[in-house]
């Protein structure tokens, strides 16, 4: 067993080993009575049984309340079995010799009858927990499991109490247990050992110490049953040891269920809340949370600093109370919004300055869809507004400068096709006047082929007389071979008797500078400055377009959400310059593995995403796992030398039922969280159907070949035997969006 597994399961292993050693030593003990009178054993026996009954009840309560969790299906069956075992143990306690009569006179035979069925239910519960799949356990199956356990308990109790003559003898006073009783206890011990093997194998596969504790409990119960196969009197040492081992087993079961169902989720929730708090406090935007009545639930540091108020003084108060006398702030948020709203507002900051905020108010809901309140995110728009006004001013000045510059004139005789071009028009394209023939075909030969649609869309209606003027922007080929953008404007001066165009005159302006500026702004708006990848805003639009194509049943598509593992540690250890180099290296490494149709984007920080058009689930899994392996095998080069890093990937298929990008992103994000929670450097495929668990479809390289093969089989099963589709596909939404953006540039 690897050292990491030994360390993870050391406590269950140590407890099992200690109890096993004690059992071996107890073999050599003579079957002496611990008490002169069996009635003297009652307090100890009652205490041990009451402990087991209480623990069984707590296990049932935990299993029932956690039935709607990811592992609820297994926990509810274990809890139902513990409920039945606890009830039968209570009947066993009340039937013990020396206790008041329990419906009928008490006897060792009667107590043994309840005991054996209780232990059988416990073994079946552990087997169910070992064999059932991970799934939610709510609904009718959970109720039937509990009712079944209660039914078995009541039925068997009726047999033991009312029909004892049908049961074979299991104990002879003065001699001890019968051979049948010893055989039954041995069979129960084998059943518990079988459950221990299955639980241990599952625990090793899942890598969770919780399963180790359940396996240890099963082994302990097997040792307890072996003690009960040997006692000669109800108060001898073997009987007492058997009860003590049973108490230890129930304590292990409770610990496993409590850690799995309560402590682990609480720790995960606390870690998630700490992460969320650190995240919102780290962003410069103003973030606040309000309930349905408009009372503040909290805010981040930027919000508190901007408004000059502490968060503790903000919680529980409305805008009218917080900003009393500061209109319109006091009237801004009387009611929470029912859908996302975006608007601009002015803020009088704590220092008295006025800031322009771009505010987004969006509702948030619970799992049942009930609105809990709203989230308010405000971004300081003052500097952006100033830059935008500066750009507008520059454009105005540029237009004034162009108006004062030379304009290229053209004169077209429409019927004959003859045309004349001014010297300025010719110089604009790098020619002299005698180098260009005086014919409209000369102009046509210089027009970019992709721009004819825009030209005809404006020119032909004007020639027919349905449009007042002709105006178009297109590209003309310069003598040196490059393309220049021109703004063409003109009018028909003469028309024939039928309204046909006879003569048309117009101008050309060189607008290449303006187009370059637009391209620069477009580049800044749609790409990430560090990596050169598409940014979140552009990527969201591309995914929405691809989702529309999926709804038209053209081809499947997948979304990969990637996050670099322990990236903060890289920044903290090697510095932000090294972190930037890792991001650039990661971008180049992944880009080299993608198809031309794939869309690669940086969503922020160390979070990246890829849209894979025309690919099924198995193909997406293969691509994701290949990318993971390539990244893990390709260290970045920094000043201190090679730096290995890895990434975790959450994958999902775009589904025609998705209302938008957010639905697919949420699934991929959940799968990414599952990949990180499972140990990072792996791929997890998120199911499209709600309620199904995410499936891990890849494992790190250091995992054994047997586990790798198992992972691959699970991946194949997850996609129902589909054939991987990784070849490029024509006219995908991703290509169309990218091509459209390029055309704008």
Q: What is the mean pLDDT of residues 261-280?
A: 72
Do strands 354-365 and 341-348 pair parallel, antiparallel, or not at all (unpaired)?
antiparallel
CA dihedral 424, 427, 432, 438 (to 10 degrees): -60
Rounded Cα–Cα distance for residues 366 and 81 (Å) = 33
Q: How confident is the model at residue 438 (pLDDT cuts 50, 70, 90)?
A: confident
What residues have CB less than 8 Å from 550, skipping those under 6 apart?
556, 557, 654, 655, 656
pLDDT of residue 328: 55
CA distances from 264 to 8, 33, 61, 254 (A): 15, 44, 17, 14
Predicted confidence (pLDDT) at residue 555 exceeds the cutoff of 90:
no
Q: Which residue has the tokens 């027009």?
A: 447
Q: For residue 312, give both structure tokens.
A: 């503790």
What residues have CB less than 8 Å from 578, skipping those under 6 apart?
570, 571, 636, 638, 639, 640, 643
Rounded Cα–Cα distance for residues 589 and 583 (Å) = 10
Q: For residue 637, give both structure tokens.
A: 């080069």
Model pLDDT for residues 40-90, shown as the tens digit of each residue: 777 888 888 888 888 888 888 887 887 777 667 778 888 888 888 889 889
Range scoring the smallest mean pLDDT among 195-199, 352-356, 422-426, 528-532 = 352-356
Model pLDDT for residues 705-739, shown as the tens digit of each residue: 333 334 344 444 443 333 344 444 644 444 444 43
CA distances from 153 to 185, 572, 666, 672 (A): 19, 60, 45, 45
Model pLDDT for residues 285-295, shown as the tens digit of each residue: 888 888 888 88
Beta bridge partners of 608: 562, 602
Do strands 286-291 and 176-177 pair parallel, antiparallel, or not at all (unpaired)?
unpaired
Rounded Cα–Cα distance for residues 170 and 148 (Å) = 26
Short-list 155, 178, 170, CA closest to 113? 170
CB 310 within 8 A of CB 304: yes
Rounded Cα–Cα distance for residues 540 and 529 (Å) = 18
Predicted confidence (pLDDT) at residue 744 exceeds the cutoff of 50:
no
pLDDT of residue 283: 81
Do strands 647-653 and 683-685 pair parallel, antiparallel, or not at all (unpaired)?
parallel
Predicted confidence (pLDDT) at residue 148 exceeds the cutoff of 80:
yes
pLDDT of residue 524: 67
Rounded Cα–Cα distance for residues 450 and 458 (Å) = 15
Q: What is the mean pLDDT of residues 20-37?
A: 79
Rounded Cα–Cα distance for residues 155 and 134 (Å) = 31
Helices marked H in 283-405 — which ranges? 301-307, 311-314, 319-322, 329-332, 382-403
Q: For residue 624, give both structure tokens.
A: 């994701």
- Residue 369 phi, psi dihedral angles, 5° rounding: 90, 5
Rounded Cα–Cα distance for residues 562 and 250 (Å) = 42
Q: Is 364 helix (H, G, I), strand (E, B) or coil?
A: strand
pLDDT of residue 670: 94
Beta bridge partners of 651: 560, 685
- Helix/strand/coil (H/E/C) assignment for every residue in 200-264: HHHHHHHCCHHHHHHHHHHHHHHHHHHHHCCCCCCCEHHHHHHHHHHHHHHHHHHHHHHHHHHHH
pLDDT of residue 28: 80
Q: What is the mean pLDDT of residues 423-445?
A: 87
189-190-196 Cα angle (round to 5): 90
CB 435 within 8 A of CB 426: yes
Model pLDDT for residues 310-343, shown as the tens digit of each residue: 888 888 888 777 776 554 554 555 567 778 887 7
Model pLDDT for residues 374-432, shown as the tens digit of each residue: 888 888 777 777 777 887 787 566 445 544 555 888 899 999 989 988 888 888 888 98
Predicted confidence (pLDDT) at residue 126 exceeds the cutoff of 70:
yes
CB 698 within 8 A of CB 675: no
Rounded Cα–Cα distance for residues 340 and 328 (Å) = 20
CA distances from 144 to 94, 138, 141, 149 (A): 27, 11, 5, 8
Question: b/e for 718-745, b at 16 or more Cβ within 10 A?
Answer: bbeeeeebbeebeebbbbbbbeebeeee
What percent of the chain lies above the pLDDT cut of 90?
18
Model pLDDT for residues 166-224, shown as the tens digit of each residue: 888 887 777 777 888 888 888 988 998 998 888 888 888 777 767 788 888 889 888 88
Helices marked H in 95-178 — which ranges? 108-131, 140-162
pLDDT of residue 703: 38
Q: Is 307 helix (H, G, I), strand (E, B) or coil?
A: helix
Rounded Cα–Cα distance for residues 696 and 679 (Å) = 11
Short-list 262, 318, 276, CA closest to 62? 262
pLDDT of residue 743: 34
Predicted confidence (pLDDT) at residue 233 exceeds the cutoff of 60:
yes
CA distances from 65 to 58, 270, 693 (A): 11, 20, 19
Short-list 334, 337, 304, 306, CA closest to 319? 334
pLDDT of residue 204: 81
Rounded Cα–Cα distance for residues 595 and 610 (Å) = 11
Q: What is the mean pLDDT of residues 5-25?
A: 81
Predicted confidence (pLDDT) at residue 258 exceeds the cutoff of 80:
no
Highest mean pLDDT among 15-24, 358-367, 455-464, 626-635: 626-635
Q: For residue 697, give both structure tokens.
A: 């479809």
What percent of the chain lies above the pLDDT cut of 70?
84
Predicted confidence (pLDDT) at residue 134 exceeds the cutoff of 90:
no
Of the two residues 540 and 345, the one the predictor is more confident about is 540
The mean predicted confidence, pLDDT, of the chain is 81
Q: Radius of gyration (Cα) for the chain, nearest Å?
A: 38
Model pLDDT for residues 76-93, shown as the tens digit of each residue: 888 888 888 889 889 888
Rounded Cα–Cα distance for residues 606 and 509 (Å) = 45
Q: What is the DSSP string of 156-215?
A: HHHHHHH-GGGSPP-EETTTEE-HHHHHHHHHHHHHHHHHHHHHHHHHHHHT-HHHHHHH
Model pLDDT for residues 652-697, shown as the tens digit of each residue: 999 988 888 999 999 999 999 999 999 999 999 998 766 566 666 6
CB 248 within 8 A of CB 19: yes
- The reported pTM is 0.42
Rounded Cα–Cα distance for residues 724 and 618 (Å) = 5
Predicted confidence (pLDDT) at residue 525 exceeds the cutoff of 80:
no
Short-list 479, 35, 7, 381, CA closest to 231? 35
CA distances from 353 to 14, 347, 348, 382, 636 (A): 66, 8, 6, 11, 46
Q: Return the DSSP state at 369.
A: S
pLDDT of residue 713: 44
Of the two residues 155 and 108, the one the predictor is more confident about is 155
Q: Is 407 helix (H, G, I), strand (E, B) or coil?
A: coil
């Amino acid at each position: 067993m690897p050292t990491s597994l030994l360390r993870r399961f050391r406590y269950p292993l140590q407890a099992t080993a200690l109890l096993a050693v004690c059992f071996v030593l107890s073999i050599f003990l003579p079957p002496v009575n611990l008490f002169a009178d069996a009635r003297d054993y009652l307090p100890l026996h009652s205490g041990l049984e009451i402990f087991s009954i209480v623990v069984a009840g707590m296990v049932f309560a935990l299993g029932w309340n956690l039935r709607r969790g990811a592992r609820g299906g297994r926990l509810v069956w274990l809890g139902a079995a513990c409920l039945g075992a606890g009830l039968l143990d209570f009947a066993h306690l009340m039937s013990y010799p020396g206790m008041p009569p329990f419906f009928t006179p008490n006897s060792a035979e009667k107590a043994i009858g309840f005991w054996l069925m209780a232990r059988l239910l416990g073994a079946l519960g552990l087997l169910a927990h070992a064999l059932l799949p991970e799934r939610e356990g709510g609904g009718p199956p959970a109720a039937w499991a509990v009712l079944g356990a209660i039914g078995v308990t009541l039925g068997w109790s009726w047999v033991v109490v009312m029909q004892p003559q049908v049961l074979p003898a299991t104990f002879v006073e003065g001699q001890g247990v019968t051979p049948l009783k010893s055989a039954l206890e041995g069979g129960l011990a084998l059943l518990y050992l079988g459950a221990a093997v299955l639980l241990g194998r599952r625990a090793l596969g899942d890598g969770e110490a919780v399963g180790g504790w359940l396996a240890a409990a099963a082994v302990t119960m097997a040792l307890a049953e072996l003690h009960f196969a040997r006692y000669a009197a109800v108060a001898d040492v073997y009987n007492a040891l058997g009860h003590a081992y049973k108490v230890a087993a129930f304590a292990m079961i409770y610990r496993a269920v409590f850690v799995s169902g309560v402590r682990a989720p609480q720790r995960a929730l606390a870690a998630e809340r700490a992460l969320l708090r650190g995240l919102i406090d780290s962003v410069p935007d103003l973030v606040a949370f309000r309930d349905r009545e408009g009372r503040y639930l909290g805010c981040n540091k930027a919000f508190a600093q901007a408004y000059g108020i502490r968060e503790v003084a903000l919680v529980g108060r409305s805008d009218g109370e917080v900003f009393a006398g500061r209109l319109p702030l006091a009237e801004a948020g009387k009611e929470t919004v029912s859908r996302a709203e975006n608007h601009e507002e002015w803020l009088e900051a704590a220092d008295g300055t006025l800031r322009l905020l771009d505010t987004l108010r969006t509702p948030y809901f619970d799992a049942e869809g009930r609105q809990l309140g709203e989230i308010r995110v405000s971004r300081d728009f003052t500097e952006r507004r100033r830059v935008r006004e500066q750009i507008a001013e520059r454009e105005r000045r540029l237009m004034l400068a162009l108006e004062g510059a030379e304009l290229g004139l053209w004169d077209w005789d429409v019927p004959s096709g003859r045309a004349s071009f001014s010297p300025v028009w010719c110089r604009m394209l790098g020619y002299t006047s005698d180098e260009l023939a005086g014919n409209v075909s000369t102009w046509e030969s210089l027009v970019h082929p992709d721009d004819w649609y825009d030209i005809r869309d404006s020119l032909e209606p004007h020639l027919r007389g349905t449009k007042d003027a002709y105006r178009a922007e297109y590209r003309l080929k310069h003598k040196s071979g490059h393309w220049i953008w021109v703004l063409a404007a003109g009018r028909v001066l003469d028309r024939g008797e039928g309204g046909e165009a006879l003569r048309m005159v117009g101008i050309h302006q060189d607008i290449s500078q303006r187009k370059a500026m637009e391209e620069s702004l477009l580049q800044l708006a749609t790409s990430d400055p560090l990596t050169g990848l598409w940014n979140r805003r552009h990527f969201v639009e591309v995914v929405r377009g691809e989702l529309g194509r999926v709804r038209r049943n053209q081809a499947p598509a997948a979304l990969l959400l990637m996050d670099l593992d322990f990236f903060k540690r890289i920044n903290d250890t090697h510095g932000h310059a090294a972190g930037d180099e890792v991001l650039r290296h990661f971008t180049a490494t992944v880009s080299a593995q993608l198809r031309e149709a794939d869309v690669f984007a940086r969503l922020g920080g160390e979070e990246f995403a890829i849209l894979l058009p025309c690919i099924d689930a198995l193909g997406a899994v293969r691509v994701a796992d290949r990318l993971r392996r390539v990244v893990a095998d390709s260290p970045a080069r920094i000043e201190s030398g090679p730096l290995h890093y890895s990434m975790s990937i959450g994958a999902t298929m775009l589904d025609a039922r998705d209302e938008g990008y957010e639905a697919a992103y949420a699934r991929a994000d959940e799968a990414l969280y599952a990949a990180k929670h499972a140990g990072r450097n792996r791929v997890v495929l998120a199911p499209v159907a709600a309620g199904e668990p995410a499936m891990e479809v890849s494992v790190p390289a250091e995992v054994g070949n047997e586990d790798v093969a198992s992972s691959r089989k699970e991946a194949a099963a997850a996609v129902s035997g589909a054939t991987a589709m990784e070849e490029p596909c024509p006219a995908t939404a991703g290509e169309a969006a990218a091509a459209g953006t390029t055309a704008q540039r």
